[in-house]
Amino acid sequence: MLSSSGLKEKTQEILKPFAENVGSLGISPNAITVAGFLLSALSGILFGLGNLFQGTVLLALSGACDVFDGILARTTKRASRFGAFLDSFLDRYADFFPLSGLLYLGHSTGNELLLFGSLFSIAGSFATSYARARAESLGAECRSGIFERPERVILLLLGLIIGYPAETTVILAVLSNLTAIQRLICASEKLR
C-alpha cells in the first residue's frame, strides 16, 4: 500500500542530498542493509529481555536503514542485483527477530495474547513475502495486498510506542495473514 502511494519517491527526493554525502564517504548500500539487519536482531534480543523501549528504538533505526539502503543505492548508482537479493533476504530475518523476541517475552511472562499474536504475525509476514516471490518465480506478479512490510513495521512501532504490544501483534497477525491470502488469490487467478 505505501509502496504504491508515491511516498517512496518523495522520501527518496528528501533524502537524496544525505545519501550523496553518505555515498561520498564510501559507505555501501549493502553495509546499510547489514546494519539494519543487525539492529533488528538486537531489537529482538531486547524485546525478549523485556526492554521494550530500547528495542523499539533499535527497531526504528533498523526500519530507517531499510528505507535508506535503497535510496543510497539509487542515488549513488550502486544498485545491483545482489544488493536487491541481499536486502530481500535479510528482510526476512529482520521480520523474524523482533517478533520472535516478543514471542519469547509473551512466553516468559505468560502473556498468551502476545505469544500467539507474535507467532501468527511471523507466519503471516513470511507467507506474504513467500507468496510474492514464488508467484514471480512462476511468471506472475502478485504485489497486491493491504499490508506489506513497511506497513507491518510501522504498525509494530506505533503499537510499541503507545504501549499495546500484545494487541498490536494480534492486529498484525490478522492483517499480515489477510495479505498472504490476497496474494494467494492473485496467484490463483494469474497462474491458472
Q: Which residue pairs from 15-22 have beta carbons closer than 8 angstroms and sit at least 24 positions apart in sequence?
A: 15/67, 15/68, 15/71, 16/71, 16/75, 19/68, 19/71, 19/72, 19/75, 19/76, 20/75, 20/76, 22/68, 22/72
Segments forming the whole domain that contains residue 21: 2-190
Ranges 41-55, 59-73, 116-130: which has the least confidence: 59-73
Q: How many CA atoms lie within 13 A of 111 on its CB side?
A: 21
| pLDDT for position 126 | 96
Give tens-digit pLDDT for 135-182: 999 999 988 888 898 899 999 999 999 999 999 999 999 999 999 999
| pLDDT for position 46 | 98
pTM of the model: 0.89
Rounded Cα gap, residues 107 and 20, in angstroms? 45
| DSSP secondary structure letters along 97-141 | HHHHHHHHHHHHHT-HHHHHHHHHHHHHHHHHHHHHHHHHHTT--
CA 71 from chain centre, in angstroms, equals 16
The total number of structural domains in the chain stands at 1
- Model confidence band, residue 24 (pLDDT cutoffs 50, 70, 90): confident
Give tens-digit pLDDT for 95-130: 999 999 999 999 999 999 999 999 999 999 999 999
Rounded Cα gap, residues 169 and 160, in angstroms? 10
CATH number where 81 lies: 1.20.120.1760
Q: Which sequence positions are flagged as catalytic?
A: 91
| pLDDT for position 116 | 98
Q: Higher model confidence: residue 98 or residue 15? A: 98
- Model confidence band, residue 4 (pLDDT cutoffs 50, 70, 90): low
| pLDDT for position 5 | 59
Q: Higher model confidence: residue 8 or residue 83? A: 83
